[in-house]
């Protein structure tokens, strides 16, 4: 196995596991999360998720550390094996490993295993949450109706300025309908 790939997947795996670990201790009600779905289905789903989560104790720092380490190791192992299995594929884009971790109403078996091995109830995992790992890109879609967020690679500090609009070319004596896309009609 190439060690450079292993290091790369290690960073990806730790970023993904840390994101899930942060969600285990987050007690923000699903309805108060920005961009949450305010439809009847979204509100009911959020209330159900909050009721189930709030019945479980909040994990302590030791449990969170154990969960993160266990989950990161499992993700890294999966990505490395998937990359090795795709090594002979002809299209370079299809050689990147792919993985989906989700919790619809019940946690993914991988999340359940990592939580239980750390002494955390799998009911602390947020419902209606999906994470996709494709190569070195990790995207998460938390809660019902939320926008997708990029977990890895880290977002750049500064967003580049949008290009300035093209100057408007004014033509005297012509009606607007006669002038389209900078050309006379």
Burial call 126-153: b when 16+ CB within 10 Å, e when fewer: bbbbebbbeebebebbbbbbbeeeebbe
* The pLDDT value given to residue 2: 43
- Most confidently modeled of 28-32, 85-89, 169-173? 85-89
97 φ, ψ (degrees, to nearest 5): -70, 155
Side-chain-side CA neighbours of residue 59 (13 Å): 28
pLDDT digits (tens, 9 = 90+) for 94-128: 778 889 999 988 899 999 999 999 999 999 998 88
The per-residue pLDDT of the chain, averaged, comes to: 79
Handedness of CA 176, 177, 183, 185 (dihedral sign): negative
**pTM of the predicted model as reported, rounded to 2 decimal places:** 0.74
Cα 20 from Cα 136, distance rounded (Å): 17
Q: Is the pLDDT of residue 58 over 60?
A: yes
* The pLDDT value given to residue 154: 79
Q: Domain 3-155, CATH 3.90.640.90 — does that match? A: yes
Cα 25 from Cα 32, distance rounded (Å): 16
The least confident of 10-24, 31-45, 168-182 is 168-182
What residues form DSSP beta bridges with 58? none
Q: Which residue has the higher pLDDT, 174 or 79?
A: 79
Q: Is the pLDDT of residue 54 over 60?
A: yes
3-state secondary structure of 145: coil
* The pLDDT value given to residue 20: 96
* The pLDDT value given to residue 44: 79
Cα 47 from Cα 53, distance rounded (Å): 10
């Amino acid at each position: 196995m190439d060690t450079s790939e292993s290091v790369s997947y290690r960073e990806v795996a730790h970023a993904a596991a840390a994101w899930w670990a942060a969600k285990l201790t987050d007690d923000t009600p699903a309805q108060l999360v920005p961009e949450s779905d305010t439809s009847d289905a979204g509100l009911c789903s959020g209330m159900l998720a909050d009721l189930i989560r709030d019945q479980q104790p909040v994990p302590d720092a030791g449990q969170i550390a154990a969960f993160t380490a266990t989950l990161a190791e499992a993700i890294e192992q999966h990505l490395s094996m998937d990359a090795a299995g795709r090594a002979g594929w002809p299209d370079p884009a299809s050689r990147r490993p792919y993985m989906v971790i989700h919790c619809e109403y019940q946690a993914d078996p991988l999340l359940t295993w990592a939580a239980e091995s750390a002494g955390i109830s799998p009911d602390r995992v947020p419902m209606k949450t999906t994470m996709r790992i494709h190569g070195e890109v990790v995207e998460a879609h938390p809660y019902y109706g939320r926008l997708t967020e990029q977990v890895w690679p880290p977002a750049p500090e500064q967003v580049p300025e949008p290009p300035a609009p093209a100057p408007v070319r004014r033509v005297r004596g012509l009606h607007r309908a006669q002038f389209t896309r900078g050309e006379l009609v």
